[in-house]
Amino acid sequence: MHNPFITIEQLGVIPEIAIDNAQDAIPLADALLEGGLPLAEVTFRTPDAAQAIALMRQQRPELLVGAGTLLDAASVEIAQRSGAAFGLAPGIDAQVLAAAQQQGMPFAPGIMTPSDLSLATHYPVQVAKFFPAGLAGGPAALQGIYAPFAHLGLRFIPTGGISENTLADWLRLPIVLAVGGSWIARSEDIRQGNFSQITRNAKAARAIVQQVREASTC
């Protein structure tokens, strides 16, 4: 089975989305695709999250769709049934990790401290979410937290408090697989039908990813 984290690494940035109305799912998917970012993390913060994932998967199969904010085993099961290709959580929970493993869902638990990261090493975790990345101290904090664990080869998806202006700072870290951000598809833009802005945000984010990666190969 294809590992979705490979595609996520290639794209470099994950639009983190809270969608209030499942009817907006397809226009949103089209906006992301037009922006060259065929990826979405639909957070389980709204009642329509599972339906939105299912619609995107059924009608826009070229979009890689995952589920975020999976806080319990039931949510993991619902996300998997809806067609989510991967899952993320803001924290680390043994029951959630077990449910993801049972469902065969590639999953990134959340960590913020060395204790969290130490706990994650007891599970078959290769990718972890660093949350809330901005409040936790930025790229320097992640580097410091990870230093004692560097020999394990883990990768991270920093999320929370990141903007277009700070995206490049995170992407320059080799340990960062990709960056999650809500600025690409803001809930207010989705509600107001401002999908052209979402397309512009997606294009701008992809351009930053490309610039950073081209610079790193020079």
Q: 14 and 182 in contact (C-beta within 8 Å)?
A: no
Distance CA 115, CA 13 (A): 26
Looking at the annotation, which residues are catalytic? 41, 129
Distance CA 37, CA 53 (A): 16
Q: Which CATH superfamily is domain 4-216 in?
A: Aldolase class I (3.20.20.70)
* Residue 67: C-alpha distances to residues 91, 136, 181 (Å): 14, 23, 14
Per-residue model confidence as pLDDT tens for the chain (218 residues): 589 999 999 999 999 999 999 999 999 999 999 999 999 999 999 999 999 999 999 999 999 999 999 999 999 999 999 999 999 999 999 999 999 999 999 999 999 999 999 999 999 999 999 999 999 999 999 999 999 999 999 999 999 999 999 999 999 999 999 999 999 999 999 999 999 999 999 999 999 999 999 998 87
* pLDDT recorded at residue 2: 83
Residue 105's nearest CA partner among 66, 151, 143, 69 is: 66
* pLDDT recorded at residue 1: 53
Residue 133's nearest CA partner among 182, 93, 206 is: 182
- Locate the DSSP E strands across the chain: 13-17, 39-43, 64-68, 87-88, 107-108, 110-111, 127-130, 155-158, 179-181
